[in-house]
Amino acid sequence: MSSITAGAIVPAPSFLSKERIIAQPGFNRWLVPPAALAIHLCIGMAYGFSVFWLPLSKAIGISAPVACSADMSFLTQAFSSSCDWPISMLGWIYTLFFIFLGCSAAIWGGWLEHAGPRKAGVVSALCWCGGLLISALGVYTHQLWLMWLGSGVIGGIGLGLGYISPVSTLIKWFPDKRGMATGMAIMGFGGGAMVGAPLAAALMNHFASPEGVGVWQSFVVMAAIYFVFMIGGALAYRVPPSGWKPEGWVAPQKKASNTMITHRHVHVSVAWKTPQFALVWLVLCLNVSAGIGILGMASPLLQEVFAGKLLGNDLRFSELNAVQLNQIAAIAAGFTGLLSLFNIGGRFFWASFSDYIGRKNTYFAFFALGFALYALVPNMGHLGNVVLFVAAFCIILSMYGGGFATVPAYLADLFGTHMVGAIHGRLLTAWAAAGVLGPVLVNYLREYQLSIGVERAAAYDITLYILAGLLVLGFICNALVRPVADKHFMTDEQLAAEEKRSQANTITSAKELEWHASAASMPLVLAAWLVVGVPLAWGVWATLQKTAALFH
């Protein structure tokens, strides 16, 4: 198929191309956030993958793990089908998730800007769901390397593309609410585990039998469900025509109070070489490092610090019997669930709040308040004040999630909106670095403290003080961020060439650029939000039920 324009034969754009998804007058921009949420809720299951570790650690033994021989090497275990995998080896999938998320977002972020969110969303669905199917084969044949390749590598690439696919689009649809728009989508990534983990548990219970733990069947079913949601989200994406703006909205004039917000654009090939990019990279890395390490150790931290106090007695962790250990484990699961809720809520709250106080001030709040809380938490633990301890970590995790949701708008303020998706993709290498730095700090310092005879209740004190120090460094880096120098911005000619490359069918009529959202679209908007809202509400309800144990 082709079309004839001004005597020249121009190939018709493909179904997945960016030109095919330019919105027409009357389109309602509130249809875009649920499309982004549909993808983020699916790939967010990466946070909940630990629900598979215990069943997979006894995939052969079923009731108890079949241990590998002591002389079997790490690599041999990855290819062995005769013994069960230790949880430490399964945990590499989690590490691979975030390494390949950051790397794929950095490598293909520029391609995404030109290809558009629909094509990126479809590729993300194929990688994430295809990775689950490869992992199912790995479980079925008991080959761990297939799980590393399927979910860790291929699935991790799907995570990166799916994570950044809506960022640039949402910021362009909501120039008046940049923080809120990205907060809505990235909230879904934090909520993915709340929906996926109870779904996975229910599926494993359904498929479990004396012959198997039900994991590979669960992977297949989840891959099918996620594929439907992700493809639906990708096909629902629309991009605004170049020059579009919300009806009645006027871009704020550049004043002394908002010099951090530019109305020009920096190319991704230039942006990542600027000092502003390096500083925001450090800001994100330090904020995430402080939060992600604690998130991964939340359950043992609460149990070891408070031990018997959670049950109303003064017994230390080592003095508790098996029944009491199970009781405090259930309470700690509620604590972990509560942190998940604040992680999600913080993504929307802080990102939306940043629209009013500015992105730089929002990060100042993260670092100043986070430093104070990390420094005070050890004393709260020694005083035995569970309520203040839990409240402190809830606030900390809200700022951890808020950091992810606020940073795309921070980049748009500094570098403009034209290539913010690609710039954000390169910035996510900070997440990959933090995914190693944070857990290593927390886990290894804890082990060292225990090895030199420090009580379990005090084993986290030094770690928390070090994390507080990381936040001081983050505060300094944020303070050093300044507006981008004029020499880094694209000229009008360069910008026009980029726009022509990324969006061929540009609407230029002022009448067409400003439109009312069609009233007929409201039922469709409501239906779209119900499709993503109902699973999210179910996940919140399931998490609240677990959290109830914390307050008994």
User: Mind listing the pLDDT tens digit for each residue in 89-108?
Assistant: 888 888 888 889 989 999 99
What mean pLDDT comes out for the span 103-115?
90
* 524 and 496, same domain (yes or no): no
* 404 and 456, same domain (yes or no): yes
Measured CA to CA, the distance from residue 231 to residue 549 in angstroms comes to 37
Residue 363 CA from chain centroid, whole number:
18
- Confidence band of 190 (pLDDT split at 50, 70, 90): confident
* 533 and 455, same domain (yes or no): no
* 189 and 274, same domain (yes or no): no
List the one residue out of 472, 313, 485, 292 whose CA is nearest residue 384: 313
User: pLDDT (tens digit, 9 = 90+) per residue, 223-236?
Assistant: 999 999 999 999 99
228: Cβ contacts below 8 Å, ≥ 6 apart: none
Q: Pick the more confident residue, 295 or 278.
A: 278
What mean pLDDT comes out for the span 31-41?
95
Q: Does residue 511 sit within a domain?
A: no
Phi, psi of 8 (to 5 degrees): -110, 145
- Confidence band of 455 (pLDDT split at 50, 70, 90): confident
* 335 and 366, same domain (yes or no): yes
Measured CA to CA, the distance from residue 195 to residue 537 in angstroms comes to 9
Q: Does residue 71 sit within a domain?
A: no
- Confidence band of 431 (pLDDT split at 50, 70, 90): confident
- Confidence band of 404 (pLDDT split at 50, 70, 90): very high
Average pLDDT of the chain? 86
- How does DSSP assign 223-242, residue by residue? HHHHHHHHHHHHHH--BPPT
* 371 neighbors 392 (Cβ within 8 angstroms): no
Q: Does residue 408 sit within a domain?
A: yes
The pLDDT > 70 percentage for the chain reads 92
Q: Does residue 80 sit within a domain?
A: no
Measured CA to CA, the distance from residue 496 to residue 54 in angstroms comes to 55
Q: Which of 176-180, 382-386, 431-435, 548-552 has the lowest mean pLDDT?
A: 548-552
List the one residue out of 377, 397, 367 whose CA is nearest residue 293: 397
Q: Does residue 438 sit within a domain?
A: yes
| pLDDT at 126 (0 to 100) | 97
Q: Does residue 78 sit within a domain?
A: no
* 491 and 533, same domain (yes or no): no
229: Cβ contacts below 8 Å, ≥ 6 apart: 38, 39, 41, 42
State the sign of the Cα–Cα–Cα–Cα dihedral 11, 13, 16, 18: positive
* Helix H or strand E segment including 122: helix 117-141
| pLDDT at 110 (0 to 100) | 87
| pLDDT at 227 (0 to 100) | 98
Q: Does residue 462 sit within a domain?
A: yes
* 400 and 424, same domain (yes or no): yes
Q: Which of 17-26, 50-59, 487-496, 543-552 has the lowest mean pLDDT?
A: 543-552
Length of the chain: 552
- Confidence band of 254 (pLDDT split at 50, 70, 90): low
Q: Does residue 182 sit within a domain?
A: yes
What mean pLDDT comes out for the span 432-438?
83
Q: 3-state class of 518 per DSSP?
A: coil
Highest mean pLDDT among 117-126, 166-175, 289-298, 324-333: 117-126
How far is residue 509 from each of residues 25, 173, 174, 499, 514, measured CA to CA in Å? Answer: 11, 18, 20, 16, 9
Question: Which three-class secondary structure string do you get for 48-105?
Answer: HHHHHHHHHCCCCCCCCCCCCCCCCCHHHHHHCCCCCCCHHHHCHHHHHHHHHHHHHH
| pLDDT at 267 (0 to 100) | 92
* 369 and 475, same domain (yes or no): yes
Question: Which three-class secondary structure string do you get for 243-284?
Answer: CCCCCCCCCCCCCHHHCCCCCCCECHHHHCCCHHHHHHHHHH
Q: 3-state class of 152 per DSSP?
A: helix
Highest mean pLDDT among 333-342, 402-411, 485-494: 402-411
User: pLDDT (tens digit, 9 = 90+) per residue, 457-473?
Assistant: 777 888 889 889 999 99
Considering its fold, how many domains does the chain have in total?
Answer: 2
* 395 and 484, same domain (yes or no): yes
User: pLDDT (tens digit, 9 = 90+) per residue, 292-326?
Assistant: 877 767 777 788 888 888 888 888 887 888 888 88
Residue 194's CATH number: 1.20.1250.20
For residue 239, what are the β-bridge partners?
Answer: 22
* 344 and 492, same domain (yes or no): yes
User: pLDDT (tens digit, 9 = 90+) per residue, 504-524?
Assistant: 444 444 455 555 666 668 899
Measured CA to CA, the distance from residue 497 to residue 505 in angstroms comes to 13
Burial status of residue 220 (CB atoms within 10 A of its CB: 0-12, 13-18, 19 or more): buried
Show the domain range for 531.
20-63+85-246+518-545
